[in-house]
Chains A and B, each alone.
Chain A
Amino acid sequence: MTKILVVDDEASIRMLYREEFEDEGYEVFEAEDGHKLTERIEQDKPDVIVLDIKMAAYDGLDLLQEIRQQFQDLPVIISSAYGAYKGDYKTLAADYYVVKSSDLSELKQKVKKALEGKVPGKKGRKTS
């Protein structure tokens, strides 16, 4: 089953995403903030992450950089209530950017697209 990790500090959003994506056949994990997020990713091994930007204690764009450094090709979709971050160069590290809406069709479409993407892999990054 395809796994989605939803990182959002609003419980209602997490609940909505869980219901909607479980109905679509996904297995949904939740994180209420970015605490030990990379460890969480190692543990849950999600296929895609849906990431909020403006969280009480964490900046989603900083978390995105952390994720990208360690998991180069793990799909990350930014889901923010604010369109103002679009065009911020930091968002270039995300696969897609979706402005939150009660209609989740765009988010679902981007999740699907991120999962079906086929790009030749790169060899693992060495550390010096």
Chain B
Amino acid sequence: MQAETTNRSAKDPRGKVLDWIEENPQEVKKADIIVGIPSFNEADCIPFVAEQAAIGLKSYFKDYRSVLINCDNNSEDQTRQAFLSVETDIPKIYLSTPEGLKGKGNNFHNLFRKAVDLDAQAVVVVDADLRSITPRWIKNLGEPLFQGYGYVAPIYIRHKYDGTITNHIAYPLSRALYGRRMRQPIGGDFGFSGAMARLYLEGKLWDECVALFGIDIWMTTLAINSPHPTAQAFLGAPKIHRAKDPAASLGPMFRHVISTIFRMMEAFDNTWKQVLWSKPTPIFGFGLGETEMPPPVEVDEDRLYRGFVDGFKENLNVYEQVLTQDVYVKTKEIAGLPYEQFELPPALWAKIVYDFALGFHLNTVPRDELMQAFVALYFGRTGSYVRTTQGMELRVVEDYIEEQCLVFEETKPYLVDRWEEAKGQGEE
């Protein structure tokens, strides 16, 4: 069948008119469940993910009208053709941003619109570069959505050096702030209900960082702060994708994710200031038998250490303004330690994160400079974590991360007091 491409227009959450491209060869008009696969130049990987997703839909949601949607960034590597040529009974829709418009968040925005158009009850999203996805992932992420849950985040085994932004910032901070424990708030694979799709389409707090890599934490934070119940799905198989050395490939993702977290803190400050400690979130999907171990992730420790020590010297001016005196002095001391003795402990790290959140809120220094200075300290914390956890088994590392989260919760009054103090001084 010759696919027909439709160019459509709609307003993005900021009110800007955006074109989007749709190819709907089976002319799907309604769907109960969607599996969305965001992509940019994933022609090599997307057929496998689409096949697994299709098997999942056929095996576990056979009584529902289902569709696979690739939400793409106008890839130049034949992603569209690779996706549409996957042989399956499940109908497929290809969506894309127009040429020149990139960003994972923009892909998702197209998916939200289509989910609302199709009146879907459930949307499961899986990354296009996954190599470990099984049909069970679709079941585990999708089923809770038919049991009244609004949002389902993943739990999977990740290598201890994979997901360092999650382990040291996104998870402990979102947990301490909002009181809901979501182990993988930026995991990239999750489920959300039709009601949540409509809420996302309203575009509250949407900005250019959300349109890029900030989308995952934006969705999770809105879900946690919505009235809709949230859950987690244990996916059994480890997340095997293009895992990256945190020292070598931070890229723009760090800025997008952290800016989004900090900006949402401003919007929800009346909520998180009331939150004390945290609560677990229900978990679905156990009983899969033995879980596999993830492949190793190589880390360049020297690069992390140098990034911290050199970055500290380069950004002294920012630290003097953003960190409290006590935190500044301790961090400076650590930045002067030789590699063999260097350690940036969780208690200090929690205060650093809180100081930077407040610095962002108060615009103490230009935000680009603030982010650049924060990266150096993040390298310090990550390097310290790598040193501490060397030789530790994954389960022990999980316990270590849990302890770090408790430290963030216990240190939270430091943030609340500073935030309130700033408000009292009329600096908002």
* Alpha-carbon separation in the docked complex, A12 to B153 (Å): 40
* Alpha-carbon separation in the docked complex, A16 to B282 (Å): 30
* Alpha-carbon separation in the docked complex, A116 to B279 (Å): 11
71-122 of chain A: CB within 8 A of chain B: 72-73, 75, 84, 86-90, 92-95, 113-114, 116-120, 122
> Does A125 have its Cβ within 8 Å of any Cβ on chain B?
yes
* Alpha-carbon separation in the docked complex, A119 to B402 (Å): 18
> Does B274 have its Cβ within 8 Å of any Cβ on chain A?
yes
B229-A92 in contact (CB<8A) = no
A120-B275 in contact (CB<8A) = yes
Please give me the residue from chain A that is nearest to B148 by CB atom: A126
* Cβ–Cβ < 8 Å partners of A93 in chain B: 280-283
A68-B279 in contact (CB<8A) = no
**How many residues belonging to B are interface residues under a CB distance threshold of 8 Å?**
38
**How many residues belonging to A are interface residues under a CB distance threshold of 8 Å?**
30
> Does A36 have its Cβ within 8 Å of any Cβ on chain B?
no
Partner of A123, one of B178, B183, B227: B227
Interface of A, helix, strand, loop or mixed by DSSP:
loop
B279-A95 in contact (CB<8A) = yes
B179-A119 in contact (CB<8A) = yes
Partner of A87, one of B179, B281, B286, B395: B395
B286-A65 in contact (CB<8A) = yes
* Cβ–Cβ < 8 Å partners of B280 in chain A: 68, 92-95
Q: Which residues of B are in contact with A by a Cβ distance under 8 Å?
A: 146-149, 155, 157, 178-181, 183, 225, 227-230, 232, 234, 271, 274-283, 286, 393-399, 402
Other A-B contacts than A68-B282, A114-B277, A125-B147, 11 sampled, CB-CB below 8 A, are A86-B399, A87-B393, A93-B283, A117-B278, A119-B179, A119-B275, A122-B227, A122-B230, A124-B229, A125-B149, A126-B148
7 A-B residue pairs with Cβ-Cβ distance under 8 Å, sorted by A, are A68-B283, A84-B395, A94-B280, A119-B179, A120-B274, A122-B229, A128-B148
Q: Which residues of A are in contact with B by a Cβ distance under 8 Å?
A: 65, 68-69, 72-73, 75, 84, 86-90, 92-95, 113-114, 116-120, 122-128
